[in-house]
Amino acid sequence: MNTLAKLRGALASFIEHSPFRWAVLSLAVAAVIATAAYSYREIDRELTALTLSRREAVAQLMAATLAEKFGRVMDIGISLSTRVHFRELVAAGKWDEAFQVMQSVPQELPHIDRLFLTDLKGTLKADVPALPGTRGINLASLDWFREVSRNWQPYVSAAHTRVATPPIRIFAVAVPVKSAAGKIAGILVLHIRVEKLLEWISGIKAGNEELFYTIVDSKGQMAFHSGHLDNKGNTDLTATPVFQKLQRGEQGVEIGFDSMEQEESIVAYAPVPGFGWGVIVQQPARSSLGLAARDTQLRRLLAGYGLILLLGVMTAILTLRIVGARQREESDRRMKAELERQVAERTSELQVANRELQSFSYAVSHDLRSPLRSIDGFSKAIIEDYAGQLDDQGRDYLDRVRAATQRMGHLIDDMLALSRVTLAEMQRGTVDLSALAAEVFAELHKSEPMRNVDWRIDPGLVATGDAHLLRVLLVNLLSNAWKFTGKTANAMIEFGAMRNTPVPDTRGVTEFFVRDNGAGFNMTYAGKLFGAFRRLHTTAEFPGTGIGLATVQRIVRRHGGQVRGTGITGRGATFYFTLPG
């Protein structure tokens, strides 16, 4: 005991009378500062990402809504132009009689402001409502005429000022009119006021926060800005970075300087798929409740860390002066308990934010599903109750309406599934991927038992991760392979793994793959594979919504891995992914 007491006394003397105590104090302060800085950055990043993702979701939903509306208007134009009596009159050059057929359209379809017919040279022959001095004018110099006459396909024009009086802002949907023999006989043009764009998306909101919406047309012009409804010009946005990203088909969200409003704003953007238009959602950073909540939380965190730092310094000084195990245990830097409390508070707040985002997604999907179900149900009722009064064309139109509503329903379901993948809590464990793949293959074969597909599954493939999410990953990849080999003789689908791949970031890591010999894709468009609603094949070729690979990418990233795809048109595709655990 005397020896132990002497050693303690010598150590206390050493600490008390040497620079060692200042080194210990400096290390303690540095550790607290490093921990605080790391936690501050992580919380800042997470809260900012949550706020921005909500704005991105609004932009994506608006873009999807506009795509559906444009498609409906184009379908209306095609429906009008293919009426048997109408196209016979146009083919015979009986413009006045064709004019009579169009008379009731504005009353039946109030969102169409005006419609007219031109001949193949762009000369206006009939219009509803008829405007004085318009018949006989040549419109061949306008954008819609040049685009339609280039390949004789329906076209949605950019926003522009109408030639006829009054000179209002509109966009045009131009559809070629063909005779019974398939010869082009004229062009049917529908005018829609740009204000209709605002009506179409006005129901999409993000709580009570102030948002500004900008619709950009296919020529890079600002069709309208919800904060500047009196703007009658065509503001050119082609030089802006956001439009250039939209032109490349990119979507995203960022914080930057708004040159129009002259202040920092949250800017989310998404392309309108298939039409070349785009949606930009802007919110002044000063009015964002999410950013305000983030800043409040960060200020509280800084105050807490300041207190922790102060307590840590005081504790370190006391620890250096009082050498003893009991004092050190009591100190341990209390600070650990405080840090755990702070982490628990942050975790609780993030969970609340996630639940709010899930509630928002559910509300949006519910509001969209109700009218879709009504449209589908009434269309089915008409087909069943009035079958004897409908001709083949009428039934075809109703079948198209039902197919469109069902497709929109699938889009909503897939958007919710993608949201759940992002927000679901992960339960990690050892997962038998070979067994999961065999289960998925069995389900696919059960869905189409007549198909003959050569399945190849490497045995014993395991990974560390969330079993539910990894099953969703394999369902999407293997379902894609199953779908895109549907037109391939001697179809083959393989699930395997390899190490030491040529990709630098995956060397030494097991890289799993799903390979098929189906339709494949052009590697020029490989960068678009994993974007939501991005498809490299038309719905007529292969059904789908463009969500599957975006879901795969999010699952892989949540596991800390990477995903990539390679393919050759007509010769199949291979998708690789890593799961570091």
DSSP 8-state class, residue 1: -
pLDDT in tens, 393-420: 777 767 666 655 655 555 555 555 555 5
Domain ranges of the chain: 2-47+292-381, 82-196, 424-578
User: Comparing 12 with 213, which gets the higher pLDDT?
Assistant: 213
CATH class of 424-578: alpha beta
DSSP 8-state class, residue 506: G
Average pLDDT over every residue of 533-554: 60
Q: Are strands 491-498 and 511-516 parallel, antiparallel or unpaired?
A: antiparallel
- Give dist(CA 371, CA 378) in Å, integer: 11
Consecutive H or E run containing 578: strand 572-578
* pLDDT for residue 569: 85
φ and ψ of 492, to 5 deg: -135, 130
Per CATH, the homologous superfamily of domain 82-196 is PAS domain (3.30.450.20)
Mean pLDDT of the chain: 77
- Give dist(CA 406, CA 372) in Å, integer: 8
Average pLDDT over every residue of 456-468: 90
- Give dist(CA 20, CA 377) in Å, integer: 81
Average pLDDT over every residue of 251-274: 81
Diameter of the chain by CA atoms?
121
Sign of the dihedral through C-alpha 474, 527, 258, 218: negative
Do 476 and 551 contact (CB within 8 A), yes or no? yes
User: Comparing 580 with 395, which gets the higher pLDDT?
Assistant: 580
- Give dist(CA 161, CA 123) in Å, integer: 18
Cβ-based neighbours of 66, under 8 Å, separated by 6 or more: 197, 200, 201, 215, 272, 275, 277, 279
Work out the pLDDT band at 494, boundaries 50, 70, 90: very high
DSSP 8-state class, residue 234: -
* pLDDT for residue 106: 74
Structure tokens at 167: 């000179």
- Give dist(CA 249, CA 546) in Å, integer: 13
HEC states along 170-212?
EEEEEEEEECCCCCEEEEEEEEEECHHHHHHHCCCCCCCCCCE
* pLDDT for residue 29: 64
* pLDDT for residue 539: 47
* pLDDT for residue 537: 47
Query: Whose CA is closest to 493, among 506, 507, 474, 465?
Result: 474
Average pLDDT over every residue of 481-510: 79
Cβ neighbours, 10 Å, residue 491: 20
Cβ-based neighbours of 30, under 8 Å, separated by 6 or more: none
Do 97 and 89 contact (CB within 8 A), yes or no? yes
Do 384 and 439 contact (CB within 8 A), yes or no? no
φ and ψ of 573, to 5 deg: -145, 155
- Give dist(CA 177, CA 469) in Å, integer: 50
Res 534 pLDDT > 60: no
Res 435 pLDDT > 50: yes
Res 366 pLDDT > 60: no
The model carries a pTM of 0.47
Structure tokens at 423: 């927000």
* pLDDT for residue 549: 81
Bridge partners (DSSP) of residue 255 are 266
3-state helix, strand, coil in the chain (%, to 5): 50, 20, 30
* pLDDT for residue 211: 78
Per-range mean pLDDT, top range of 41-50, 241-250, 355-364, 454-463: 454-463
At which residue do the structure tokens 């934010």 appear?
353
Do 507 and 500 contact (CB within 8 A), yes or no? yes
pLDDT in tens, 199-258: 888 777 766 677 788 888 888 888 878 777 666 556 788 888 888 888 888 888 888 776
Q: Which of the residue ranges 326-330, 452-456, 525-529 would you say has the lowest mean pLDDT?
A: 326-330
Structure tokens at 154: 């329906």
User: Comparing 415 with 122, which gets the higher pLDDT?
Assistant: 122
User: Comparing 211 with 515, which gets the higher pLDDT?
Assistant: 515
* pLDDT for residue 535: 47
Average pLDDT over every residue of 136-160: 90
pLDDT in tens, 101-121: 888 777 777 788 888 899 999
* pLDDT for residue 186: 93
Structure tokens at 39: 């936690």
